[in-house]
Amino acid sequence: MKNREFIKKANWVLSVCLLICIITLMLICYKTFLPRALFFLLSCSLICLARIFLGPSSADRAVALMIISMLIIGFCGILSIFTRRDWYIDIAFIWTLQSFIVTLSLAKFLEGKRFGE
C-alpha cells in the first residue's frame, strides 16, 4: 500500500515539475502574448492527451477530454482576438454546446443508464 502512495506522490511531483519547466520555457523563448498563449495551450493539450491514453479510469479520461474541449475554445478565442474574425467565436460557441451535450451523455453512460432513461 505504501508503494502505491509513493507512486501517486511521485507522479504529482513530476507533473508539477513538468508544468514549471513548460512555463519557464514559455517565458524565456517567447516575448509576445500570442506565441506564449498558443504554446501554453498546446502543451496543456499534450498533457491532457497523455492523460487520455494513460488514465487509470474512464472518469479520468472523460475529465481530460473535457479539458481538451475547453482548450479548443480558448484557442478559438485567442485566434478571434488576433485575426479580428468573429467566426472563431461562433465555432467556440458551437463547440461549447457540443461539449456540454457530450459531457451529459458520457456521465449518463458511465453511471450505467441508457440515453432514454
User: Model-level pTM?
Assistant: 0.72
Check if the beta carbon of residue 82 is closer than 8 Å to that of residue 73: no
Return the closest-CA partner of residue 77 out of 68, 67, 63, 87. Answer: 87
Alpha carbons 109 and 103: distance in angstroms, whole number: 10
Alpha-carbon distance of 66 to 63, in angstroms, equals 5
pLDDT by residue for the chain (117 residues), tens digit each? 577 778 777 777 887 888 788 778 777 877 788 888 888 888 888 888 888 888 778 778 888 888 899 999 988 988 898 888 889 899 999 999 998 888 888 878 878 777 666
DSSP state of 32: S
pLDDT at 94: 92
- For residue 10, give the C-alpha cell: 511521485
Model pLDDT, residue 1? 56
